[in-house]
Amino acid sequence: CGVFGVIGVTDAANFVALGLHALQHRGQEAGGIVAHDPAHGFNSAHRFGYVRDNFTKASLMETLPGPLAIGHVRYSTAGKKAAAIRDVQPFFGEFSMGGAAIAHNGNLTNAESLRHELIDHGAIFQSSSDSECIIHLMARSYQKTHADRIADALRRCEGAFSVVAMTRSKLIGVRDPLGVRPLVLGRIGDNGYVLSSETCALDIIGAHFVREIEPGEMVVIQDGKVDSSRPFHNATPRFCIFEHVYFSRPDSIIGGRSVYETRRQIGVELAREAPVEADLVCPVPDSGTPAAIGFSQESGIPFALGITRNQYMGRTFIEPTEQIRNMGVRLKLNVNRSLVKGKRVILVDDSVVRGTTSRKIKEMILEAGAAEVHFRIASPPTAWPCFYGVDTPDRSKLLAAKMSEDEMREWIGVDSLKFISLDGLYRAAGEVNGRNDACPQYCDACFSGEYPVAPADQLARGFEM
Ligand code: 5GP
Ligand code: SF4
Ligand code: MG
């Protein structure tokens, strides 16, 4: 998901709409905005579909006046596919000290047990979302300010949360102690501040990047001032390394590092680790493109756009059902026949999850007359599900959980298949000495199976780590 908030500008909701549009890659199912104006109070709009199809209409935006607004773009994680509009964030609650709205990116790993506990104590849930627990926990807190209640609530939450919240007068941002999901602070105009999942959404509204919200930090912004506190226990940060590989936009800066440059460097590492003689390096667009550029630069094998992507389709994996996902590949990608005919082609993609994409692409490219097909993958084999906010299927559907690398090569049906090593990935992400196995610098659970936060709900259901 993507979260965005603005305070201290005229018609903040318009800025939020633009910000959410720039974060659309983080969630395409639905979006929502809550705005506050002293004269009109809180107003909100929640819609299915793209930001540009909803939050561009003057008739809608006029209903969201005020200098303070937050928003959310949603992509539902495992098990919560049939979203109802009441699942769309931000969520709003009335408290003794006034209303507040919250938008959450990440996944709470103890949401099910929290929900049961809260329902037992009288909470009436409106949605199926893990994030709604935060509002109910706030309602049960005895703290006197919204910010303290948010801190109280989040201290009970485990897992990943980057939260953007608002009251009548404050914009609040919080990151979980490990800082699994991103959240940045920006400035706009003379007195305005912005919170955003990624820096690319600051650029679109002409805001300036100030800094990242730190893991475990809470900021409360009011009247042009930023108050910082640390409501959680200290922990060693474990940012999601898959944000670098796939999830974030390549024009965003994370941890002072360009996502594009990390992806290009992954291609460089891959070319060193798994060289192969070939005529062309082709990305599986768009997510494989920067790594393919790096692979081509390092190997000297020409880069070519052997596959064209229809720009009007969403990301395959954000489509909710397996059936649509299966069709999706052909609807979205097409092979440039005249280019690949008779050629030995290296295809670079970001990840192999179920293997559907790779298998379909291999079929298409052989049909087009390629002489050889070599897959190079910009992440290690995805052998474990993510419980922190990226939608991976359960282990039984993960190709790498069922098969060795050679069995995967055979199943996909290509001449060679190589994944970047975990160390190579860390080097590409700027860790010159690779992964520190004693104390890993990132979360890489979907590759290593080492979960930095025990997935309590999953363990209770019998998941074996
Ligand atoms: P597959 O077809 O192997 O399931 O998915 C791999 C391809 O689709 C990659 O190109 C990746 O961009 C995207 N993808 C599909 N499904 C998922 C998913 O559940 N999680 C992630 N991380 N990427 C996926
Ligand atoms: Fe990111 Fe993978 Fe960790 Fe999930 S499990 S937070 S996708 S690195
Ligand atoms: Mg892809």
Domain harbouring 298, CATH code: 3.40.50.2020
Do 410 and 346 sit in the same domain of this protein?
Answer: yes
Domain boundary among 175, 204, 237: 237
Whether residue 383 has its Cβ less than 6 Å from ligand 2: no
Q: How far apart are CA 300 and CA 209, in angstroms?
A: 36
Contact predicate 190/201, CB 8 Å? no
Do 78 and 163 sit in the same domain of this protein?
Answer: yes
Do 191 and 286 sit in the same domain of this protein?
Answer: no
Whether residue 444 has its Cβ less than 6 Å from ligand 2: yes
Q: What is the mean pLDDT of residues 428-433?
A: 97
Collapsing DSSP states into helix, strand and coil, what is residue 337?
A: helix
Q: What is the mean pLDDT of residues 40-67?
A: 97
Q: Tell which residue, 153, 135, 215, 205, has the closest CA to residue 183.
A: 215
176 is in an annotated binding site: no
Which helix (DSSP H) or strand (DSSP E) does residue 69 occupy? strand 68-74
In this structure, is residue 248 part of a structural domain?
A: no
Contact predicate 32/47, CB 8 Å? yes
Whether residue 355 has its Cβ less than 6 Å from ligand 1: yes
Do 225 and 308 sit in the same domain of this protein?
Answer: no
Ligand 2 pocket: which of 1, 242, 395 to mutate (most atoms <8 Å of CB)?
Answer: 242
CA atoms within 13 A on the CB side of 9: 22
- Determine phi and psi for 292, rounding to 5 degrees: -65, -40
Do 265 and 371 sit in the same domain of this protein?
Answer: yes
Whether residue 284 has its Cβ less than 6 Å from ligand 1: yes
Question: pLDDT by residue (tens digit) across 265-319?
Answer: 999 999 999 999 999 999 999 999 999 999 999 999 999 999 998 887 655 445 5
Residue type, 270: L
Whether residue 321 is predicted with pLDDT greater than 90 in this model: the reply is no
Whether residue 325 is predicted with pLDDT greater than 70 in this model: the reply is no
In this structure, is residue 210 part of a structural domain?
A: yes
Overall number of domains in the chain: 2
Do 233 and 264 sit in the same domain of this protein?
Answer: no
In this structure, is residue 399 part of a structural domain?
A: yes
In this structure, is residue 73 part of a structural domain?
A: yes
CB atoms within 10 A of CB 310: 11
443 is in an annotated binding site: yes
439 is catalytic: no
Do 65 and 11 sit in the same domain of this protein?
Answer: yes
Mean residue pLDDT across the chain: 95
Domain boundary among 206, 237, 268: 237
In this structure, is residue 380 part of a structural domain?
A: yes
Whether residue 79 is predicted with pLDDT greater than 50 in this model: the reply is no
| Count of all residues that appear for the chain in the document | 465
Label residues 277-296 b or e (16+ Cβ within 10 Å = b).
ebbbbbbbbebbbbbbbbbb
* Model pLDDT, residue 316: 45
Do 343 and 387 sit in the same domain of this protein?
Answer: yes
Phi-psi region of 287 (alpha: psi -120 to 50; beta: other; left: phi over 0): alpha
Model confidence band, residue 260 (pLDDT cutoffs 50, 70, 90): very high
Do 280 and 167 sit in the same domain of this protein?
Answer: no
Using CA positions, which residue lies closest to atom 24 of ligand 1?
A: 317
Do 48 and 127 sit in the same domain of this protein?
Answer: yes
For 73, the token pair is 């773009």
Strand 91-95's sheet: what is its strand order? 91-95, 98-105, 162-166, 171-175, 218-222, 225-229
Residues 6+ apart with CB under 8 A from 224: 8, 190, 191, 192, 193
Q: How far is CA 69 from the centre of its chain?
A: 21
The domain that contains 14 carries what CATH number? 3.60.20.10
In this structure, is residue 253 part of a structural domain?
A: no
User: How many angstroms separate the alpha carbon of residue 206 from the centre of ligand 2?
Assistant: 30
In this structure, is residue 32 part of a structural domain?
A: yes
Q: How far apart are the first and last CA of the chain?
A: 25
Q: What is the mean pLDDT of residues 15-27?
A: 97
- From the candidates 1, 133, 200, 282, which is the catalytic residue? 1
Domain boundary among 237, 272, 297: 237
Question: pLDDT by residue (tens digit) across 184-227?
Answer: 999 999 999 999 999 999 999 999 999 999 999 999 999 999 99
Positive or negative, the Cα torsion across 416, 422, 426, 427? Answer: negative
Mutual angle of helices 259-273 and 289-299, in 10-degree steps = 50
In this structure, is residue 207 part of a structural domain?
A: yes
Residue range(s) defining the domain that contains residue 157: 2-237
- Determine phi and psi for 259, rounding to 5 degrees: -60, -40
Do 50 and 112 sit in the same domain of this protein?
Answer: yes
- In ligand 1, the atom with minimum distance to the C-alpha of 356 is 2
Which ipTM score applies to this complex?
0.92
pTM for this entry: 0.95
Do 281 and 212 sit in the same domain of this protein?
Answer: no
